[in-house]
Structure 1
């Protein structure tokens, strides 16, 4: 369970909505990509090892590289870089990917600040 989900435990309705939103986002993408994105973002935060990119196709490597930049370099991502992901994932996939990367970043940050304890859970 993510730190965000745990912190929302005091409000079952909100926790349910968050879990549903997170689940639908992940379901829109390949499970292997979801795991790679979450692992890449966590590694940026110093919360684990970077994913092994050996054997990944070029499009997936682009996704991992893009995900790594989301937490601290998102304003430096170019339109051309985003367009490459749209080409690889399709527009709906790119939107789901962007949401996934943002949620992964938020969940890492929540864990690092002890959101569960701050929320009094």
Structure 2
């Protein structure tokens, strides 16, 4: 992990280790390919260019991911159910964590918040 979040967490090794383990577990639960696609979709909403990911994610999943940064309160139960149907309940939870972390990491990058742990 690198970037502003990593720099901010460097001041607190225990917090950094816990965060990295949590993030890694979510990424592993969702799978490398889908994680890259979700991160790419969320970054695109923020206007951040990431290398294009490999593979194709289920359409409802990426549409849902794109809504998380600025429209999360408008996501319907039906939209969530469609993603659960595509991914299953456990991967839906991992997807939610990955998308939320991607959103937070993009926001940190956009404002250059290197003093996160201060």
Structure 1 and Structure 2 fold alike (TM over 0.5): yes
Unaligned runs of 5+ in 1: none
Task: Give 1:56's aligned residue.
Answer: 56
RMSD (CA atoms): 2.3
Figure out how many residues of one structure are paired with residues of the other and give that number: 117
Task: Give 1:95's aligned residue.
Answer: 93
C-alpha displacement of 1:27: 0.4
Is the contact made by 1:40 and 1:51 (CA closer than 8 Å) also made in structure 2?
no
C-alpha displacement of 1:51: 5.4
Task: Give 1:33's aligned residue.
Answer: 34
Is the contact made by 2:5 and 2:116 (CA closer than 8 Å) also made in structure 1?
no
Question: So what's the TM-score if we normalise by structure 1?
Answer: 0.87
Distance in 1 between residues matched to 2:102 and 2:45, nearest whole Å: 11
Unaligned runs of 5+ in 2: none
SS at match of 1:46: coil
Question: So what's the TM-score if we normalise by structure 2?
Answer: 0.89
C-alpha displacement of 1:52: 7.6
Distance in 1 between residues matched to 2:81 and 2:29, nearest whole Å: 19
